[in-house]
Amino acid sequence: MELASLPLLFLLSMTFAGVSNAAGGIAVYWGQNTAEGTLAATCATNNYAYVNIAFRNVFGSGRTPTLNLAGHCNQASGTCATFSAHIRACQSSGIKVMLSLGGYVGNYSLSSADDANQFATYLRPFGDAVLDGIDFDIEIGGSAHYDDLARSLLNLGQVSLSAAPQCIYPDQSLNTALSTGLFDYVFIQFYNNPSCDYRSGVNGIVSSWKQFTSGVTATKFFVGVPAATDVKGYVPPDVLTSQVIPAVNGSPKYGGIMIWQRYTDVQTGYSTSVKGSV
C-alpha cells in the first residue's frame, strides 16, 4: 500500500504530552517566510514547545488541497516531503509539530460532513513524518462543517487538535467547532481586534481570556501575541511578562503563549525575551 493512501490512524500520533502545569510553553507559527530559517533550525533554538506549520490554505468544496509555505517547498514537485527529517528532529527534542489549516489568505471551505471526512483522510503532506496534530486557524470561508472535520480526524485516529480563534468571544469562524469540546489547545489571537487586544489594556485581554476559558472546553489555552512591533495589538515583552502572564497563569488551563510568527520573532527576539517568564 502506498504511504499516501494510509488512513490517518497511521499518520498522526498522540504524542502530545502538553506542557507542565508548573510552567507554560511557547507555540509559534512557522512557514510564511524563507528568511525565518528551516523548521529544524527553528526547533534547535529550544525556544518553542510547539511549532505550527502554516498553512494548508486551499481545501474543501472540490478544491485540490494545497500548501502555502512561502518558498520553503513546492508541493507540486514533491519537495515538501523533505520536511520529514525536520519534523522528526523537532519531535526528538520533545517539540510538538502541528499542521495548521486556513490562515487569513487562502481559498477554503467545507461543503458537507462528507467533504470534511474526505479532507480528514487527506491530511498528511510531509513524506513519512508523523504529525502530532492539526491546528484550525479558520479566518475566512465560513464556519460550516469544521465540527465535522474535528470529529472525522478523531475517528480516524488519536490526534491532538488545536484552534486559533480571534480574541472576540465567541469566534465567528471557530465557535461551532470549539463547541464540540474536542480540542486540546486553544491559541487565542490577541491582536488585530481592538476590543480585546492590548489596545484595550491588559484588562481587555484578561476579560477575553476568562470568556474563552469558561466558555470553551479544552485542556490548555494560550495567549497569542505578535512578535512584530507594527502589528496592531502588539504587547511589549516587559508588559507580557510583568502584567499579562501573571494575570492568567494562575488558571489550571494556562498553557503558555503563542507567537505570530517565526519570521518576525527572528527579527525582534521576542521569544528569547520572554521565555524565562512564560
CA distances from 253 to 186, 224, 256 (A): 10, 15, 9
Instruction: Tell me the three state secondary structure of residue 217.
Output: coil
Residue 139 bears catalytic tag: yes
- Asked if residue 10 has pLDDT above 50, the reply is no
Q: Which residue has the cell 494548508?
A: 56
What is the tens place of the pLDDT at every residue in 227-240? 999 999 999 999 99
Q: Which residues contact 157 (CB under 8 A, 6 or more apart)?
A: 7, 8, 9, 10, 11, 12
Burial class (CB in 10 A: 0-12, 13-18, 19+), 72: buried
What is the tens place of the pLDDT at every residue in 26-76? 999 999 999 999 999 999 999 999 999 999 999 999 999 999 999 999 888
Select which of 139, 148, 171, 265 is catalytic.
Answer: 139
What is the tens place of the pLDDT at every residue in 157-209? 889 999 999 999 999 999 999 999 999 999 999 999 999 999 999 999 999 99
Residue whose C-alpha is closest to residue 161's, from 188, 191, 140, 181:
181
Residue with the bigger pLDDT between 8 and 88: it is 88
What is the tens place of the pLDDT at every residue in 139-162? 999 999 999 999 999 999 889 999
Distance separating the N- and C-terminal Cα atoms of the chain? 45
pLDDT of residue 75: 85
**DSSP states of 153-178 as a string?**
HHHHS--EEEE--BSSSSPTTTHHHH
